[in-house]
Structure 1
Amino acid sequence: MEEQPASPSPGAARPATDRVIFGVTALLVLFFLGWGIASPVTLGTFAEAGLRWAVDGIGWGFALAATGFVVFVGWLALSRYGAIPLGGDDEQPEFHTLSWIAMMFIAGMGIGLMFFGVAEPLAHYVQPPPETVPPLSQAAVRTSFATTLFHWALHPWAIYAVVGLAIAYGAFRRGRRQMISSTFVPLLGRRGAVTPLGKVIDILALLATLFGSSASLGIGTLQISSGMRSAGWIDAVGTPVLVLIIGVLTICFVASAASGVARGIQWLSGINVVLAALLALFVLITGPSVFILSLIPTSVGSYVSDFAEMAARSGATGSEAVDEWLSSWTIFYWAWWISWAPFVGTFLARISRGRTIRQFIGGVLLVPSAVSVAWFAIFGGTAIDLQRGGAVDVAGSGNEEVQIFTVIRALPIPTVITVLVIVLVAIFFVTGADSASLVMGKFSQRGTISPRKWMIVFWGVATGSVAAIMLMSGGDHALEGIQNLTFLASVPFALVMVLMCVALTKDLRTDSLIHRRERAEQILAKLVDADEHEPAHRDDEPRDNDAEPPRTPPRGENPPEHD
């Protein structure tokens, strides 16, 4: 993911910590941890009440903003701004297209796809969104995949693209620091970006990244523990087991991030992509292959046809059941993607130098979306086929984290595949959290590309600690605790992203390339206008079609000159 630079030379200046950004964020995190340790029940109650208030009061804003980001980046790609490069005018892309797409593919995979690959399509098939289609019907199959792609295709990657574009354009085109506050220079000015308001923006980005990474760690922990139980390694899953798994994963990714061994992480990422592809191919071949392949065009068609209806779904269009469903699914996803936006956006910016805005948006939106379509068709299609055929009651086998292992037990060599899934989830998180720790260190030390090791360790330990508190605050419903706290942490950063779109648009309007094109268009327009108003002949010259016959000039007058 995020590239780690070589260690600075002995004489190089050491990264300076921004005491305000780091200090305030650290204090807030410590307060949260103290509250969670002292009274996880009251923290869970507070988070649940906050979520209910937010869904009722500003859920419409989340729905509008998420779809607005899709429209915004689509407009940028199709507009004259799409030709602006993320770098100098003649600068070539830093990475070849195939390498760039491969890295985009890595960013498109993760714990989320492993956790929800089976669970989400199956959940919407067994219990579709309220007031839509009958459960367990053929229409429910189409609705389940349309809803799943609505959550995983264009919307999340448009959210990431907004932050990635703003950072890449400011850093590579304008020469600014790779900080979230630096993207607000068009609105605040260069000095305004380092004022208290600019620091508040960076603090919100830090908190969003921390809670987003912690949510992924919590979800990964739930799935690993379920896999260990499915494989017969443990008898029961309780809080001590979950905390132990979190501790082991935290040690792994902190050691990885602090070691500075970038090639090792890139190697692990490559291996993980190969293993994920092999897993998907295995399920495709041993599962209901024809049904899976037929789901791909059906899913895309249903997604496109139902897009407007799904985007407009809110509490105002239904009952209390609709509100409950939105808070558990759609709004949680928008919150999760927004909380990941500072980290993923920074990564996307890092690998996209030299690309045009149009190329960036096309790659960021289309490549991961294609991966999601294939992944959910394979794993969700297999689960639905087992469920509707009556062979296995996948939906009734347990919570979301258990269901993928229920599907695996219905396929050949289940023990080997179970171990493979556990390994995949662990490595996906280690490689992702490695980069997230570096990004949080970068934000804490004024945008440096090489944050100090103690800073990386601090944010790594904080991520693991917050994940543990999230799980404990949810009690018997651990996933709900993760969802509630993730949403609350992302609310303020959603507003930051809306203002970021305004700042980026203002920045692009003053781009030198746009100015030159406008000047060229003005000159061309003047030339065309002058040509239109210029007479076809001089008044003193006869026209070809009504030329007068030559006359004999009077004496003393010279004859007319001919060309």
Structure 2
Amino acid sequence: MRKVTSVFWITLAIALFSVIWGAVAPGNLESITGSIQSFISVHFGWYYLLIVTGFVIFCIYMIFSPYGKIKLGKPSDKPDYNYATWFAMLFSAGMGIGLVFWGAAEPIYFYAKNAPTAETGTPEALNETMQFVYFHWGVHAWGIYAIVALVLAYFKFRRGSPALVSATLEPLFGDKMKGPWGKAVDVVAVFATIVGVATTLGFGAAQINGGLTFLTPIKDSFTVQLIIIGIVTVLFMMSAYTGLSKGIKYLSNTNMVLALLLLVMMMVIGPTLFIMNMFTDTIGAYLQNLPSMSFRLAPNSEENRSWINSWTVFYWAWWIAWSPFVGIFIARVSKGRTIREFLSGVLLVPSVIGFLWFSAFGSSAIKVQQGGETDLSELVTEQTLFGAFDNYPLGLIMSIIAMILIGTFFITSADSATFVLGMQTTNGSLTPPTMVKFAWGIIQSSMAAVLLYSGGLQALQNALISAAFPFSFIMILMVVSLYKALRADKAAIEKEHRDSEEKTSA
């Protein structure tokens, strides 16, 4: 523990306080986080929509600008991982459990219970459902991740700065980032990471429990979820002990194989033609309506505004809360790629895979709902996917694969997060001590357990939006700092090129 900085002890104290608070007074924790969440959603929904769309526009600009040629590293640096492994790591760290959890549940909920604007159960609701699912899980989500990852990778590998969020703000604030202000920035980033990952671990534990309840006599209870969290904690600590190049790499590749296997099975066994028709039709509608969805706030309709707060604003907060963790992790595995290559890969490939995933599982679930024999909308959220599988051949096998996949995603996310938290609390070390990673692993799992205990999924969502808000301001500063640094970098490259030409001509 000799490498740890004051950020470790400050954030550890805040996290322990939150865990004890939730264990001693769970109702109070849910009430307060709920009030904070409600205030932020109501008064700052416009802010979330504007900044997230702004991040996407900035990413697109960087892809096509002259800055896109700049490499995330020295000119001679080569990528550490091939494309297949790189994409697997992006996907596993970025959205793993969430895709499995919401793959059938979100489309069913929108279509059968609460469509954005259309009447539920209608063809209009079906089309609108898939558009907004793509919207929540597509380029906007990955644009948030890409911003944090790009900034961190640039300053770490191009400029040799510590792999810390605070270090990326030095072009704006200079040496102030090496003092208390820098520590405050890193504490916010670390705490947002803890809450973001704990939330997703809570979703994962709830869905594994949901699958067991649907398939076996095991009841859905906090005790079962606590046992699941305990087992997975031991497993991801074993993985964390092996390090990045072994544990996370192998797990990420395993995740992709299992995910592709499950996706292909659903495409073949499910209503294949319906899936592909829906994918093609709704992708077009998504692209056509993307600008209006990006700025949709419905100020004159309380019902529509409530929907936006509950879904779009929640998702933007979720991705922002996850962005320190995912961004740092993506940065760590992206050395040697150009900005253009990096942003194109991060924005497009995981988004397209996500669209296919929701088309397959969402459309298959909706087809079951339309058949009328099973009302999936009446199942609890974490059982919706298993309820859909139950209506198709080989449903039991797909359910078992899904639970294994949730488990491996669970382990990968927690393992990656302990690595990132270790980096952030040991002054950016790329090889944080095992004991530091273990400490954060226990805290993450404890936070997930406490949030489930204090109010289930609603408490998880409340905590997430509350933790994301302060980090969003840091992200804006990171974008400004990167642009300032890139302009200076580009000017230096052009000057070096001119000097070289002058020497050659002389």
TM range (shorter): over 0.9
Q: Does the aligned pair in 2 maintain the 1:268–1:427 contact within 8 Å?
A: yes
Q: Distance in 2 between the 1:121 and 1:147 partners? A: 9
Partner of 2:198: 214
**Structure 2 residue 161 is the aligned partner of structure 1 residue 180:** no
Partner of 1:158: 143
Q: Does the aligned pair in 1 maintain the 2:198–2:447 contact within 8 Å?
A: yes
Partner of 2:128: 143
Q: TM-score by structure 2 length?
A: 0.95
Q: Does the aligned pair in 1 maintain the 2:85–2:252 contact within 8 Å?
A: no
1:460 shift after superposition: 0.6
Q: 1:315 to 1:196 in 2, by over 3 A?
A: farther
Q: Distance in 1 between the 2:229 and 2:272 partners? A: 36
Q: Distance in 2 between the 1:427 and 1:523 partners? A: 52
SS at match of 1:237: coil
2:151 counterpart letter in structure 1 = A
Q: Does the aligned pair in 2 maintain the 1:50–1:488 contact within 8 Å?
A: yes
Gaps of 5+ in 1: 1-13, 525-563
Deviates more, 1:417-426 or 1:212-221: 417-426
1:15 shift after superposition: 5.5
Partner of 2:472: 494
2:173 counterpart letter in structure 1 = L
Partner of 1:453: 434
Gaps of 5+ in 2: 502-506
* RMSD (CA atoms): 2.0
Partner of 1:278: 261
Q: C-alpha deviations, 1:31-70, integer Å up to 9, x for none?
A: 1112111110011111111111111221211111111110
**Structure 2 residue 317 is the aligned partner of structure 1 residue 313:** no
Q: 1:268 to 1:99 in 2, by over 3 A?
A: closer
**Structure 2 residue 397 is the aligned partner of structure 1 residue 390:** no
Q: Distance in 1 between the 2:34 and 2:182 partners? A: 30
Partner of 2:3: 16
SS at match of 1:133: coil
Deviates more, 1:373-382 or 1:120-129: 120-129
After superposition, residues 72-221 of structure 1 pair within 5 angstroms as 72-107=58-93, 109-130=95-116, 132-189=117-174, 191-221=175-205
1:112 counterpart letter in structure 2 = G
Q: C-alpha deviations, 1:163-214, integer Å up to 9, x for none?
A: 111111101111111111111111112x222111111110011001101110
- How many residues end up aligned between the 2 structures? 501
1:237 counterpart letter in structure 2 = D
Q: 1:520 to 1:439 in 2, by over 3 A?
A: closer
Q: 1:431 to 1:149 in 2, by over 3 A?
A: same
SS at match of 1:334: helix
1:211 counterpart letter in structure 2 = V
Partner of 2:504: none
After superposition, residues 453-532 of structure 1 pair within 5 angstroms as 453-474=434-455, 478-511=456-489, 513-517=490-494
1:294 counterpart letter in structure 2 = N
2:293 counterpart letter in structure 1 = M
Deviates more, 1:91-100 or 1:171-180: 91-100
SS at match of 1:88: coil
Q: Does the aligned pair in 2 maintain the 1:88–1:354 contact within 8 Å?
A: yes
Q: C-alpha deviations, 1:6-33, integer Å up to 9, x for none?
A: xxxxxxxx862112x1121111111111
1:32 counterpart letter in structure 2 = S
1:364 shift after superposition: 0.3
1:357 shift after superposition: 0.7
| Pick aligned residue for 1:297 from 254, 267, 280 | 280
1:521 shift after superposition: 8.6
1:522 shift after superposition: 12
Q: 1:102 to 1:225 in 2, by over 3 A?
A: closer
Q: Does the aligned pair in 2 maintain the 1:77–1:357 contact within 8 Å?
A: yes
Deviates more, 1:425-434 or 1:83-92: 83-92
1:185 counterpart letter in structure 2 = E
SS at match of 2:421: helix
Partner of 1:45: 31
Partner of 2:416: 435
Partner of 1:28: 14
Q: Distance in 2 between the 1:117 and 1:357 partners? A: 31
Q: Distance in 2 between the 1:349 and 1:523 partners? A: 32
Q: Distance in 2 between the 1:367 and 1:83 partners? A: 20
Q: Does the aligned pair in 2 maintain the 1:129–1:322 contact within 8 Å?
A: no
